[in-house]
Amino acid sequence: CYDRYLVRIEEMRQSVRILRQVIDKLPGGPINAADWKNMEPPKSHVLTKMEELIHHFIVVTEGLDAPPGEVYFAAENPKGELGFYIQSRGGGVPYRLKIRSPSFVNLSILPELLPGCMVSDIPAVLGSLDFVMGECDR
C-alpha cells in the first residue's frame, strides 16, 4: 500500500512539472473553433436570443454528424487509463459506446493483492487503489 502511495505522490509532482511546461509553451491567439455550426452558443446568448436557443437545442439533441466507422480513444487520468470505444453508422447518435473506466480495471487486481492479508488490512488495500464504486458498477 505504501509503495502505491509513493507512486501517487510522484505522479502528482510530475503532473505539476508537465502543467508548467504546457503553460510555458502555450501559443497565443484564439482558443475557440472558427466554425460555430458544431459548437454550443454562449449561455448568455441562449438565455436572451431565440436563434441561439434553437441552435443550442439542435446541437444538444441531434449531436454532431459523425462519419460511419469506429474509434477507440484513451486518455491518461489520475486513476489510470480512461478509454472510449465508439461505433458509428453515421449521424449524431453513436451505434455503440463502451467506456473502459480505470477503477473497474484497478479492482481486477484484488484477487492478486488480497491473498495472505488479514481482514483488517482490506480497507488499507482498497484505499490504496483509490477506486470510485460508481465507475465499477456496470
pLDDT score for 138: 63
CB 52 within 8 A of CB 36: no
Residues 101-128: tens digit of each pLDDT? 988 888 888 898 889 889 998 888 888 8
User: What helix, strand, coil percent values describe the chain, rounded to 5?
Assistant: 50, 20, 30
**All structural domains of the chain with their residue ranges:** 32-64
Cell of 54: 434553437
pLDDT digits (tens, 9 = 90+) for 15-51: 999 999 999 998 888 777 777 777 788 888 888 889 8
* pTM score above 0.75: no
pLDDT band at 8 (very low <50, low <70, confident <90, very high): confident
Reduced to 3 states, what is the DSSP secondary structure of residue 109?
A: coil
H/E stretch holding 81 reads strand 80-88
How far apart CA 48 and CA 117 sit, in angstroms, is: 61
